[in-house]
Amino acid sequence: MRGLQISLNQTQKIRFDRALEKIESLSSKSNSNATVTVADSIPVNFEDGVLKGHGTSERDGEVVATLCGVVERVNKLVYVRTLRARYKPETGDIIVGRVIEIAPKRWRLEINYSQDAVLMLSSMNLPDGVQRRWTAVDELNMRSIFEENDIVCAEVRGFQHDGSLHLQARSQKYGKLERGQLLTVPPYLVKRRKQHFLQLEKYGIDLVLGCNGFIWVGEHVEAMDNIVKDLVSKSEQQSSVTTLNEQKHHQSPLETRQNICRTANAVRVLSALGFNISIEVITQTVELSSSLNIDIHDMLGAEFYVLVAEAEAERRSLLTKKK
C-alpha cells in the first residue's frame, strides 16, 4: 500500500486505518514466526549442516537475515523470500506479453522483466492445425499471426544457453488476446496457482493472471474459435479471410464492455491497496460494487477504496475463524 494517493475525509480515514490495522493484526498472527526484517536472527540447527541461501548471512555464530521477507526452508537450505520483488521467471509460468519486434523466425515480447522474451516460430502451433514442419512461406506470413503491439499469452519454456528467455504457445489456450484491457500490477501480488486462465461466466469475460504482473481482462472467447482450421484450398482460404475479417470488425456488446471495465477497475483498486490478486478477491470486489450500485468510474473514488479494505478485513477474519 506504499504510494497510495487518495484523498480521504476524516470519517473515511478512520474507517480505512481501522481496516488496515485489522488486516495487519491478522497477518502478523499467521506469519509471526516466518516473517523477518534485516538483521533479525533466524533459528537454525547447525548440527544438521545448514546451507545459507539467498537473503541470509552468518554473524557472531548465528544466521541473520539480510532482506525483509519470509523464511523458507528446503531440506537443509534456508533462505529469505522477499515479499516485494521483481518478476523472476520460472519454467511453466503463464505470462502475458506485448509484441515489440518481429525478427527472423521469432517474435520479441516485453514481459515486465529485465530483458525481453523470445517466442520462436517453431514454438507455436501451426495456424491450420496440421502436424508438419514450418516452411519459408510460414516465416513470410509471421505478421499475419502476431504483429507489433499485439497482446499475447504464452508459457515460459526456460532460459537458453545464450541467456535469453524463451516462450512457447503449443496449446489453443495460448495466443493472441483481443477485445479487452491489459493491466499492470506488481508481480508479487500474483501468486503462482494451478489455474491462471479464469472465466467469470456470470459476466461473460475471461481473466488471464500473468505471473509477470500483466493481467488481461477481456470478452470470453471459446478456444476453438480463435484458430482457423483449414487453409489448404483457395476456397477455404477465402472463407477463412472472411471469418478473420468478421472477427476483426466484431463489436462486443455494451454489457460485456461494462463488465470488462468494472472488473478491470476492481483489479486496479486491489493493486493500489496491495492485496493479492486472486479470482476470489476479484469476484468479491466486483460483486461489492454491483450490489451497492456503484458506477464504474466511481470505483476509483475514495469511498470504494475504504469499502474494499473493510471487505478484505472481514474476509480474512472469517478465514482465520475457520482454521
Q: How many domains does the chain have?
A: 3
Query: What pLDDT, on a 0 to 100 scale, did the predictor assign at position 224?
Result: 47
pLDDT band at 308 (very low <50, low <70, confident <90, very high): very high
What is the number of other CB atoms lying within 10 angstroms of the CB of residue 295? Answer: 10
Domain end among 161, 177, 193 = 177
On whether both 185 and 312 belong to a single domain, the answer is yes
On whether both 172 and 185 belong to a single domain, the answer is no
Is the per-residue pLDDT at 80 higher than 50?
Answer: yes
Range of the structural domain that residue 161 is part of:
86-177
> Helices marked H in the chain — which ranges?
10-31, 136-140, 142-145, 234-248, 254-273, 279-291, 302-322
Domain end among 82, 114, 145 = 82
On whether both 10 and 128 belong to a single domain, the answer is no
On whether both 307 and 172 belong to a single domain, the answer is no
Is the per-residue pLDDT at 65 higher than 80?
Answer: yes
Angle at 160 between CA 69 and CA 129, to 5 degrees: 110
First to last CA, the chain: 27
Query: What pLDDT, on a 0 to 100 scale, did the predictor assign at position 106?
Result: 92
Sheet holding 56-59, edge to edge: 41-42, 62-65, 56-59
Tens of pLDDT, residues 179-207: 999 999 999 899 888 889 999 988 999 99
Domain end among 177, 192, 210 = 177
On whether both 47 and 27 belong to a single domain, the answer is no
For the entire predicted model, the pTM comes to 0.80
On whether both 104 and 169 belong to a single domain, the answer is yes
Query: What pLDDT, on a 0 to 100 scale, did the predictor assign at position 109?
Result: 95
Tens of pLDDT, residues 86-111: 888 999 999 999 999 999 989 999 99
Is the per-residue pLDDT at 221 higher than 70?
Answer: yes
As given in the structure block, the three cell numbers for residue 89 are 521467471
CATH of the domain at 140: 2.40.50.140
On whether both 232 and 162 belong to a single domain, the answer is no
Query: What pLDDT, on a 0 to 100 scale, did the predictor assign at position 241?
Result: 44
On whether both 323 and 247 belong to a single domain, the answer is yes
